[in-house]
Amino acid sequence: MALEFACERVGVTDCKHVATADSTEELLTKVAQHASDAHGVELNDTLVDYALTTVRET
């Protein structure tokens, strides 16, 4: 089982980036890195909470 985050699911419809990880911590690290690198966005608690509501288990 893995956790999957997709930019599309948080409304970034022009980004097809999908991140997968085995733990929430690892996933958030990857998502934060991608958000910063690709979108110039620094995650705060509100964004993290929202992102987590869109995470799916695969």
Nearer to Zn ion, 1 or 14 (CB): 14
Considering only the stretches 2-10, 20-28, 48-56, report the one whose residues sit in contact with Zn ion under the rule CB under 5 A: 2-10
Q: Is 17 in the site for Zn ion (CB under 5 A)?
A: yes
Nearer to Zn ion, 1 or 11 (CB): 11
Residue-wise DSSP of 7-45: GGGGT-TT---EEEESSHHHHHHHHHHHHHHHH-----H
**53: enclosing H helix or E strand:** helix 45-53
Q: Which of 3, 7, 51, 55 binds Zn ion (CB under 5 A)?
A: 7
